[in-house]
Structure 1
Amino acid sequence: MQLRHSLLACLLAGTTVSAQAQEIIITASKVEASREETGSAVSIIDAEHLENNQITLVTEALREVPGLAVSRTGGIGSTTQIRIRGAEANQTLVLIDGVEVNDNSTVAEFNFADLLSLDIERVEVLRGAQSAIWGSDAVGGVINIITKQGKGPLNGSVTFATGSYNTNQQSFTLKGGDDEYNLALSGSLLDSDGISAASSDRGNSEKDGYSNSTLNFKGGMQATDNLELNLVLRHVDAFQETDKSDFNTGTIIDDDSHAERQQNSGRVSAKLDLMDGDWQQEIGYAVTKSRTESFSSTFNSDALGKKRKLDYQSNYFIHTDAAEHRLTFVAEREDEDFDYSSTYSTVKQSTDSTGLVAEYGLNLDETYYFTVAGRRDLNDRFSDTDTYRFSFAAWLNDDWRLHTSRGTGIKNPTLFELFGSTSTFTSNPDLKPEKNTTTDLGLEYHFSDIDGYIDVTLFDTDVEDLISTNATTATNQAGTSDIKGLELTATLNPTDRLRLTASYTYNDATDADDQQLIRRATHIAGLNASQLLANGKTRISGGLQYNGKQYDTVFALSGNRRVTLDSYTLANLAVTHAYSDNVEIFAKVNNLFDEDYEEVYGFGTEGINFTVGIKLSGSL
């Protein structure tokens, strides 16, 4: 097994990865800018990478991003968490087309299990504390998913795929646009018999199925020469069969439990350009409604969370001969509702907050870039808080770029943490927000003879007042958690046919007692290569993902205990062939070497599995 891994690693290392010149991001400052202008650590996954590697779930690609740790409790559709630089899963803010989609019906984290790679233009991953721009939830970073906008004559596609575990998916896209209007509609139906959520290595054999229906709409119109109107809508309906924990032994065992998840979100916005574009104003209103119904033989629950957000942003640009200045002001009003009922209890609560942001940006001679931002959050349940962030980037010469940032993060206790979900839960009015401070420093080398770069970034984070929740109450942990490490990224594109990306993360994440935090491996690495063959129609893409040894906690009545999860390496291989201008066939093999591994203690993982399919596309 190790020999095969080494051979594939050598094969991929001998190839090269993709770099996108002037990659555009908006997450760092809510204003479009190239990646090279950004002092913060950011990674971009583009549509080409998703399509070349036949990505079904976005988490498959996120595993390749430095600083990210992914944990899934079973097969496809099982609860999936992402931790950025050792932060908790609910300390990552997730946006889809500008809408915050963290699920506040539970602990305000986003369940990546239901996020399909459906007509996505790019995924931006911003690492480090970003609360000064994005508020609560952005303690560890921000993941921003942007779907494709309609362009050109009306066109569409349909995709049919089938594979292991009786997994089937049917998807469609419909897009078009001109200078006045644009629209994009996409949808997908996915269902799978799945595997046993409880590990089969421990004698469990009952398969736990999953189904997902997703529908996206994105449209806009140019109402006048300087007024743009936009609307995005998203609906997700998922059904997941699950297994249960045996608290006598702390293991996961077969069970007929299941959960139904639904999320509806949308945003309407208007953007006004004045003074020849030097003064931009945008106002938007977004709504997210998340619902999770859980059923078992002994316990049923219904959790409903709603979030409504009104925001206004103003950008003012000042141009001089040597410099460009930007002044940004943001005002936000957010209201949240939490409505929970179960076999044993009922909880109904709400909260609201107001955020005010001011940011200054400087572009000096296209060589030095500086931003500084401050935010004031006014809360109805907690003390008002202030956060800040600054970033700096500089071209030292034509090849070397320096970038650094420092920021603070704040994570307000969720309504779930404050009031719990059982009749025995004791509210804690003294529960304080979690907070952190993150500093990173990176050096990037750009190759002069090929399109690509290598980046090395050091980071250090101090976390205070981490919230710990059990069946009876929630409390703030004493002391400071220390997280520090290194991120290495290589992005190269030596020819028009050859792409390669590589990443490595060293993450030393310890709590106040100097114990490594659970589900955060010290070493994580990834390689991906994609080669278009000489016929110009066939592309072969392959990847390796290494996850080092990590720890987990087993919860049992006899007492909790700490366990070690072994390291593992996963390989995948994808082939696409353009049969004609309108027909593409594809195949993919995951876990190519049938690695036996465990991401979360007691839960199963998929063995070697495959997908084959066909995509039909064309103008209408």
Structure 2
Amino acid sequence: MTRTIRMACVAISAVAAGPVLAQTPYELDEIIVSGGFSPIEERRYGQSASVLTAQDIEDRGILTVQDALRAVPGLAVSGTGNNFTQVRIRGAEANHTLIMVDGVQLSAGDSEYILSGLDTANIERIEVLRGPQSVFYGSNASAGVVNIITKRGATGTEYGGSVEIGDGYAASARFSFRSDRGGLAFGVSRLDDDGYDFSGSDGELDGTRRSTLNLTGDYNVTDRLTLGFTLRASNENFAFDTTSYVASTADEYVIDDPNQTSERKERSGSLFAEYEALDGRLVHRLTFEGSEYEQSTNGAAPTKADRSAAKYLLSYGLDGYAVASTNHLLNIMAEWEQDSSSSNPEYERETNSVAMEYRGTLDNGLNLQAGLRYDDNKVFEDDLLWILAGSYTFVGSGVRLHASAGTGSVNPTYFELFADTFGFVDNTSLKPEKNQSIDFGVEVPFWGDRGQVDVTYFHADLTDEIVSVFDPATGNSVFINESEKSRRQGIEISGNLQATDTLELQLSYTYLHAKNADGTVEVRRPRHELWLGATQQFMQGRGSVTADLRYVAGNYDSQFFGSYELAELPDYVTVDVAAQFDLTDTVQLTGRITNLFDEEYSDTWGYATRGRTAYVGLRAAF
């Protein structure tokens, strides 16, 4: 499941793979599209990455992105019900993970993106990069990146769709056309989840309804010039429950309330132009992107945030070969970014950034990646960021060593910078929060390359964490940068084994030790998370059955009831099963059962989780 995949031809063309000078080009390995300013081969990449492919998602019967991410090592996914789900990478804060679709940020710049109903329909793959990515993606990529890449389609015309019923319904459709000059891809999906009662009292169902549209296109105007775009629009309505701060137990804390609803609208898109020169040795890429995010609760005026950015990227083959096949690549980037929020309408944040990246493959097979970025922030302190990573594969054994070190940053939010309500005062002298991280690991193939296991150790220190303090002299609170560090370290293990011609086994395990600056345990970051998966094919591959087992232990959360303590949640094990069968060459019958043994568990104090639920559906591709 957590394996890299071969990049589609369109992704290669997006890097402007031009004519190659007289040499024998190396054979392209599997590609990580998000691994720098331009796609990078897996064997050359030194940081930790996992890829969930469309096939992985279909085999497991996964309907939402938040559920798909639960099997990735190093990630803690938790929510107060299904409609407020956060992702934490390697014990970092939730707003230190940048979530994107087709390379465009979803949060519109201000704080974190909350997962709720983001469905997996029409997704080609999900790339998860662990470790600081701010050199390449700026603020909010301090601990890592989740980049959701939609389907582009192969050469020719493709169309298809899916429908599933169970606890509500889900439906999707897609169409694509691609020639040797370019293509268009369109996808639409609807998720209507009846939900369950978050309070656990068998009351009103807290459901989710989301509609999403994606449109992408690219065209080779000439052999040297490529133009392209992405568009995405999503509308969502969901219900939730209220809480009681005078409750004495977890069962009393969340109160069933049929009147609590929220609505959110998301709009994002990008335009790019790419031009090759010097027989592909020099590539220019200009990108404009924007996103808007709007959310309202119970019909009140919505909070709106928007972000605009323009980026110029120059890629140059230092050894005289084309960018697509060079062993020594230099990327130079300049970016302008501006965002605003209706929560503080009198202010805007603007950042001008410059960065460079070097990638090299040395004669001894050592691969290096180094990056440096400077952010000129107009309303708070500037920032300097760096990344260094490397990998080395031993010839013959296939054993690969990988390591990285670097820094990431997270900008202060509008409220932290400009607060003037609820007893808070502004502080525009805040510094971005800074993540300093190292990791190193080894990837080992075994059993004649039928299996592979990767073990990685990581350590990260969060400095300049933004916290609020109360000044008794003025009676006000203000946000400041914490002087002490909070530390996180742990081990990630991932593996897969083709046990037989028809049976594939997979695993991921995370051990995490995360502490606040005062030594207390960080909340909603389990000490142990284990995921096991098995897919068995039958009838010459016409059908398959997949089982997932997930074990979580050592998860602490704050109790906002009773004596208001930090307490450990009970350990739990859940099992999901999914099956699919080819009715014809183009139509599949699908079915799945989530929480097979109807386990009662929770990732946050007071909030119930969904019981055993069954679904059945059809999937078609032409």
TM-score, with normalisation over the residues of structure 1? 0.90
Return the offset for 1:366.
Answer: 7.3
Alpha-carbon distance change, 496 to 98 in structure 1, aligned in 2, over 3 angstroms: farther
**Cα contact 2:381–2:430 (8 A) shared by 1:** no
1:190 aligns with 2:188: no
**Cα contact 1:551–1:563 (8 A) shared by 2:** yes
Query: Match of 1:99?
Result: 104
Query: Match of 2:608?
Result: 604
> SS of 1:461's equivalent?
strand
Query: Match of 1:589?
Result: 593
Q: Return the match for 1:572 from 568, 573, 576.
A: 576
Q: Return the match for 1:351 from 328, 339, 349.
A: 349
Q: Counterpart of 1:293 in structure 2: which amino acid?
A: S
1:472 & 1:371 partners in 2: Cα distance?
43
Return the offset for 1:319.
Answer: 3.2
For residues 92-131 of structure 1, give each alpha carbon's deviation from its aligned partner in whole angstroms, at most 9, with x where no partner exists: 1112111111244xx5211121321021111111111122
> SS of 2:66's equivalent?
helix
1:526 aligns with 2:531: yes
Return the offset for 1:391.
Answer: 0.4
> SS of 1:52's equivalent?
helix
> SS of 1:114's equivalent?
coil
Q: Counterpart of 1:188 in structure 2: which amino acid?
A: S
Alpha-carbon distance change, 499 to 349 in structure 1, aligned in 2, over 3 angstroms: farther
* Residue correspondence of structure 1 range 439-458 to structure 2 within 5 A: 439-447=438-446, 449-458=448-457
For residues 501-549 of structure 1, give each alpha carbon's deviation from its aligned partner in whole angstroms, at most 9, with x where no partner exists: 2111111000112111000011111111212213321111111111112
1:291 & 1:469 partners in 2: Cα distance?
26
Query: Match of 1:4?
Result: none
Query: Match of 1:65?
Result: 72
**Cα contact 1:466–1:476 (8 A) shared by 2:** yes
Alpha-carbon distance change, 259 to 348 in structure 1, aligned in 2, over 3 angstroms: farther
Q: Counterpart of 1:65 in structure 2: which amino acid?
A: V
Query: Match of 1:435?
Result: 434
Q: Return the match for 1:157 from 153, 157, 160.
A: 160
2:525 & 2:3 partners in 1: Cα distance?
28
**Cα contact 1:347–1:419 (8 A) shared by 2:** no
How many residue pairs were aligned? 585
Q: Counterpart of 2:60 in structure 1: which amino acid?
A: N
Segment of structure 1 superposing worse, 54-63 or 303-312 = 54-63
**Cα contact 2:435–2:460 (8 A) shared by 1:** yes
2:443 & 2:197 partners in 1: Cα distance?
44
Query: Match of 1:257?
Result: 260
**Cα contact 2:191–2:210 (8 A) shared by 1:** yes
**Cα contact 1:312–1:331 (8 A) shared by 2:** yes
1:244 & 1:422 partners in 2: Cα distance?
23
> SS of 2:195's equivalent?
coil
Alpha-carbon distance change, 468 to 18 in structure 1, aligned in 2, over 3 angstroms: closer
Query: Match of 2:309?
Result: 309
Q: Return the match for 1:242 from 235, 240, 243.
A: 240
> SS of 2:57's equivalent?
helix
Return the offset for 1:152.
Answer: 2.6
The alignment's C-alpha RMSD in Å is 2.2
**Cα contact 1:359–1:374 (8 A) shared by 2:** yes
**Cα contact 1:151–1:182 (8 A) shared by 2:** no
> SS of 1:598's equivalent?
coil
Between 1 and 2, higher relative CO (CA 8 Å, sep ≥ 6) is seen in 1
Query: Match of 1:383?
Result: 381
2:599 & 2:84 partners in 1: Cα distance?
21
1:457 & 1:103 partners in 2: Cα distance?
32
List 4+ stretches of structure 1 deviating above 4 A.
16-21, 320-323, 420-423, 469-473
1:25 aligns with 2:32: yes
Alpha-carbon distance change, 420 to 609 in structure 1, aligned in 2, over 3 angstroms: farther
1:275 & 1:395 partners in 2: Cα distance?
32
Return the offset for 1:478.
Answer: 3.7
1:475 & 1:368 partners in 2: Cα distance?
43
Return the offset for 1:430.
Answer: 3.7
* Residue correspondence of structure 1 range 491-510 to structure 2 within 5 A: 491-493=496-498, 497-510=502-515
Alpha-carbon distance change, 47 to 416 in structure 1, aligned in 2, over 3 angstroms: same
* Residue correspondence of structure 1 range 27-106 to structure 2 within 5 A: 27-75=34-82, 78-104=83-109
Identity %: 32
> SS of 1:112's equivalent?
coil
2:580 & 2:364 partners in 1: Cα distance?
40
Query: Match of 2:407?
Result: 408
Which residues of structure 2 form unaligned runs of 5+? 7-28, 470-475
1:509 & 1:245 partners in 2: Cα distance?
27
For residues 593-616 of structure 1, give each alpha carbon's deviation from its aligned partner in whole angstroms, at most 9, with x where no partner exists: 111101111112101111110123
Segment of structure 1 superposing worse, 153-162 or 324-333 = 153-162
2:305 & 2:4 partners in 1: Cα distance?
40
1:125 & 1:230 partners in 2: Cα distance?
24
